[in-house]
Structure 1
């Protein structure tokens, strides 16, 4: 689609283009078709789209915010959405039932055994290319455990739904997959008869074994439809490979880590043509003790012995039997169970794409029934169900991806059912675009009340994988569309976003620690059964059981796979037992947090747009300087601000706050130690975590919290009357004097002629606002030269007079260099303007003409070019009429002011350009008759002096009477 739009724009170079999108661009790469924006190309900071993409992705979500803001500042972009006022969001973390946990653990062990059995069968029959095999295996693995994750939340969702219904609300449940495929398979096997609910998870496992288990038939099927590559001489059949006695590592390069639902719910179509080593599953000897190998090591058999095919078939049948036994305990289809638990089809409006469902009848029996109603297609059935929900006939609606677009389920003023909607997300979609589509079903215009959103996430660590994807996309979507990553629902899911550079570094660190025994400063999770040694042993075995591991190195340790991504890691750990995956994920999460904390201390962490002085209202613009910035198709400007922040807390405000405090230890305190014959004064407020927030007269709220013990060691509590004099004295003195002067009556730095800001109320900050994208590279280069870091912090503020500013914070040490760079840039732009190409304006065109504009008269200075195309004119050589009769230029004002001052006076039209344009047309098409009275001269609409020109807009007189 993007290529088609690009081609269309290339074929219509003169066309005006408007880009309109319902959901925006969730990633910068999706902007590739927006070539007319002027963000990249000749005359811009980025020569190609690839340069732009690299720069933005390198700097993360913060840079995306800059892109959106720069486009808005330039007037080329507008993004509007419904207000989220009144909308509530919450995460409901659901604990696992002990019975469910036992079933999950059994399933994890069986999948580990299946991995080993698939590997052994492939070796025995000499399967050459295994890319398709392992793609199918890991795709099924992911789908199986995703179904279990969803099933773990059904019981709690039903409880929540009943609670909300009891409060006169109605419920909308969002999911993605319906599990209909497995139901159809069982229906076909049983000749259209069903007497029980079907397990979608069991169907995924059985289908994998029945359709994709390694066999000679699989080899024949492959050879029938494609050419076989001949094996080079000297390379024996893979069945004749050494039978690695100590099988422990399974190196699998291919992974079905697709994020699309298509990859989850459909077969994995891959052409297994390649014979490169990466396509082969290699089992290496790693020297693990026998008890470490777990289910990975079934007894090895001689691949050259008799009855190989019979043995492979026996492996398959044994595995099928074990799956069938496990299937008796696996949860049934989520959608069918939800409908059954919430009252059946009579009380639940189902809007999905499936054609039939399994229902429980009044006599206790279970049967399959079609969703179709007489004379209606499935689409019309969904519309009928929507009408029943909106009329209040049904108070629960279940929607899938099939009904996530174009259906309005909000509390509309025009419908009977105006109960508040509670939108519960049982299954998060992989895409932010799809998530927003589904969230938007219940939050639309003309609604009586805003919806409540509840995201249900189980305690299974592996499910963070699904929340991580949506969190990442929602963050970037909010940054690109609104210039603020907090503009979307990601504020509730952002803690699950691990798909960034910190996630990759944390994963590498964790895998190196567990597999390669490298040192990690992050402590291990507390309370793991068996201690640290058991943790490392279990995690090592667990990673190997889900195919994460490399070859054994010379030191006896395992090398980490080079292609193990966050997506792959979070997919695979779904296959670990619950306590193992939670412990491993906790270790990964702790490492992730540690790396972020380190970068924060070193000033390298991108925190997006920060409030410059949160909670402070005394913010003033002290000065500003405007600089021109180069751009295409037009230049922009940036403004350098000096901001003054008064951090002090007046006594009146402190006293008012103290009256609102209710804690037993809240109030004013004085220090035991006196400095300058005066103790220090503060106001302490206890918060929920039993820590104290401290307020001081000179710096206001202190960012660092204090414990009660620390507070009592240095301070003692006093009344407000005792604290008042010291508070006011400190507040007044700190306006111009640092703390050293207050304590010692002098400051060494001040005596040396330097500035000291220790304890001062006033702080100065420097900001660069405006068309930031055009100067981003220049400022980053200056910052890197001065501070050795090219990181630019974006800040926002609101001044005392209610002005809002968003821009780059410039450290004080970089101010002089940044100003020099901006001055050079400004001079370059002005120089190019002075020597720019274009038609020179005749001096006579700038002479005042006697056409004064009377009060109430209309100046028509708009111009539409004639139908015929003018050839490029030569420089103007003709003189304008000497007699300034009212015949030309439609009421040019009688003013001696410099025309440059008329460019933007009173309205947004450049009069100089209008004059040039009209003179150019007059020079190219000379009038057939001499100018006549006003209304009949050349260039006058409706006159005989040339083609008729239609006025588009009329402006009131923009000039003062003079």
Structure 2
């Protein structure tokens, strides 16, 4: 009945459970990892396995409890089950408690003692603990990853670079023996791998510092590609990235292939999310570029501790309380997780369990229930990530634009730092872009074997797309929304399955689809798009709050000539406000296309030469129009002569541009403005 003692006991339980569950997941991967390693060795490659746990602590505890005779005839299985058994032996509550009222009248409890001061044990609890230990000890051992690899491939094939000082190996007679590893063992094992005597290397955190396992041009195995299995990333992003860097360094003949290993158990998202979050932080701090940390291994939806994830969890709690989730009910969830979500009146608590606690408790659930909960929860996160990506507010660190050529049209200094003299500049750039094209051979390699793919052609545009299933999202009422991805020769986009029937996409036969696809690829390869953009670059952090907040992405723009520009793209409709925020007059003349873009997706833009007139988007009679506002009365007839048309609405004459000719009319107005 003591809250602090109960919390401490619960914390220890959750810690032991999480360590055990992590090791079980790793053990589940081992058969697949072994098969993959065998395939890579047969292909002439070498394998590198990165892990964190070596089970050395479990081995030492097991050895400490052996008699001399048992040491002479070893027969032990080092298993993560030992973690649970040790926990039960040391932390299972067996003390008999006595209830009493404290001075403040609250009911509390304390351990009981007999007349001699000895602890009184609850025999029922002792029996329950002993039965549970006996049950666990009768189960087959869960193999530890490192020992599993060594037992399968043998010490002649596996080079171990870890911090273990002892290990159990199998001798020539098939008996276990204890082998000591000296301080120089890691040096010898590294040399055995790099020289080619051992085709497999397994290293832990202790082996990921100060050593290189890459295809060094001076080593005998330089021509063998390293296949790097990220089996267990651990809890520290810097250590995980340091481990990845052991096989990918300068002066190498071939770069490695990184293969993160995961199970289909959605609970493993807990461990992936931790490393993803810390990889994000590491990349942001180390290089100012998010992909540097994550190596593009993780999607924003994988980070279950982001603001999107926290918002989604709050909504998940409310949907659970409202009974709108199909995965589980409120009462059952509280019972099997031990989380309190409602008060005595059944009202949802103001302070709900944080996401870390919620995630840890999910790990105790059955796999089917766990998967169902994660399916709904990940759908809520994905809906937020998709919305943020479409709005341009998804913080992805630094995104890249690769241009064939960059032409600087103009630049304007927005601010000069009074201390360092560093400048914040607004650049006007002309980008010559070649679209990224997916050829038919690659499309067929990726999706050719998929029975779910549908070959579509748009009856209006004539373009083709391969429609394949994509991850679902969850709507505000907790219902799953099936999504599809339209894969095109020059890109892709996601669409709701229900909305696909209301579009102009029609299914065609595969032969015609291939013909249309290859024609679009040929057309795209010969095409160079010219795009004009404005970029705020230079010293951005001190003026970040003055930059437009509708798109917070940072872009790296480079070309074949080696030009590289890092900055924020400023949309046409925001240029005027940006310059005004810095007390500058407008010096950038937008193109007709940019003026229309600014009108449709912003607050409008000044029309050059029209003495303060603005181009805006307006809703008139339930239709969207491009309108010229704040024009001078004497310019009305002149504008109508150039193609604008007028309407009197609510006793006010308004001017509009025809939708199909707006670009052409604006070009004429800008070229020869009225006096």
TM-score by length of 1: 0.49
Structure 1: runs of 5 or more not aligned? 1-122, 220-229, 242-302, 373-377, 525-531, 672-681, 729-760, 784-788, 827-962
Does residue 406 in structure 1 map to residue 197 in structure 2? no
Partner of 1:642: 428
Distance 1:712 1:172 in 2: 46
Look up the match of 2:147. Answer: 336
Is 1:629 the counterpart of 2:629 in the alignment? Answer: no
SS at match of 2:142: coil
Determine the C-alpha separation between the residues in 2 that align with 1:825 and 1:630.
20
Residue among 82, 104, 110 paired with 1:203:
82
Matches within 5 A, 1:618-697: 620-632=407-419, 634-643=420-429, 682=461, 684-687=463-466, 689=468
Deviations 1:109-128 (A, max 9, x none): xxxxxxxxxxxxxx5xx797
Q: Secondary structure at the match of 2:105?
A: coil
Whether the aligned pair in 2 keeps the contact of 1:643 and 1:766 (CA below 8 Å) is yes
Secondary structure of the residue that 1:350 maps to in structure 2? strand
C-alpha distance 553-645 of structure 1, shift in aligned 2 (>3 A): farther
**Aligned equivalent of 1:388:** 192
Q: Secondary structure at the match of 2:40?
A: helix
Q: What is the CA distance between 1:430 and its match in structure 2?
A: 1.0
Give the conservation status (yes or no) of the 8 Å contact 2:270–2:359: yes
Distance 2:142 2:570 in 1: 57
CA RMSD of aligned residues (A): 4.6
Higher alpha-carbon Rg: 1
1:505 equivalent among 287, 311, 334: 311
- Which runs of structure 2 are paired with 1:69-84 in the superposition (5 Å)? none
The Cα shift of 1:648 comes to 11
The CA deviation string for residues 526-580 of structure 1, in whole angstroms up to 9 with x for no partner, is xxxxxx3xx323x7534532332235341x3553753x33333322222111111
Other-structure match for 1:546: 337
Inter-partner Cα distance in structure 2 for 1:704 and 1:402:
44
Q: 2:261 aligns to what SS in structure 1?
A: strand
Any conservation in 1 of the 2:457–2:465 contact (CA below 8 Å)?
no
> 1:356 touches 1:368 (CA, 8 Å); kept in 2?
no
Hey, what does 2:63 align to over in structure 1?
187
1:586–1:393: structure 2 CA closer, same or farther, 3 Å change rule?
same
Alignment correspondent of 2:383:
594
Please list, as runs of the form range in 1=range in 2, the aligned pairs for 1:197-596 lying within 5 A after superposition: 197-216=76-95, 233-239=103-109, 312-327=122-137, 328-342=139-153, 344-365=154-175, 367-372=176-181, 378-418=182-222, 419-494=224-299, 495-514=301-320, 516-517=321-322, 532=326, 535-537=327-329, 540-554=331-345, 556=346, 559=349, 562=352, 564-596=353-385
Deviation at 1:599, TM superposition (A): 3.6
- 1:794 is matched with 554
**Aligned equivalent of 1:75:** none
Q: Deviations over 1:232-263 (max 9, x none)?
A: 6143552399xxxxxxxxxxxxxxxxxxxxxx
Q: TM-score, normalised by structure 2?
A: 0.68
Preserved CA contact (<8 Å) 1:432 1:470: yes
Point out which structure has higher relative CO (alpha carbons under 8 A, 6+ apart). 1
Q: Contact 2:194/2:220 (CA < 8 Å) preserved in 1?
A: yes
Instruction: Give, in whole Å, the separation in 2 of the partners of 1:199 and 1:807.
Output: 53
3-state SS, counterpart of residue 239 of structure 1: strand
Which secondary structure state, in structure 2, belongs to the residue aligned with residue 638 of structure 1?
strand
DSSP-derived class of the 1:379 partner: coil
Match of residue 566 from structure 2: 806
SS across alignment from 1:768? strand
Q: Secondary structure at the match of 2:297?
A: helix
Partner of 2:535: 767
How far residue 770 of structure 1 moved from its aligned partner, in angstroms, is 1.5
Aligned-pair CA distance for 1:491 = 0.9
The 2-side partners of 1:688 and 1:542 are apart by 37
Q: CA deviation at 1:215?
A: 4.9
2-structure distance, mates of 1:413, 1:692:
43
Question: Aligned equivalents of 1:416 and 1:617: distance in 2?
Answer: 39
User: What is the CA–CA distance in structure 2 between the aligned matches of 1:169 and 1:350, rounded to whole Å?
Assistant: 18
Would the aligned equivalents of 1:182 and 1:198 in 2 still touch at CA under 8 Å?
no
Deviations 1:766-823 (A, max 9, x none): 32111112322333xxx4xxxxx57534334457987443322223333223213334
1 CA distance for matches of 2:270 and 2:332?
A: 21
Structure (1 or 2) with the greater strand fraction: 2
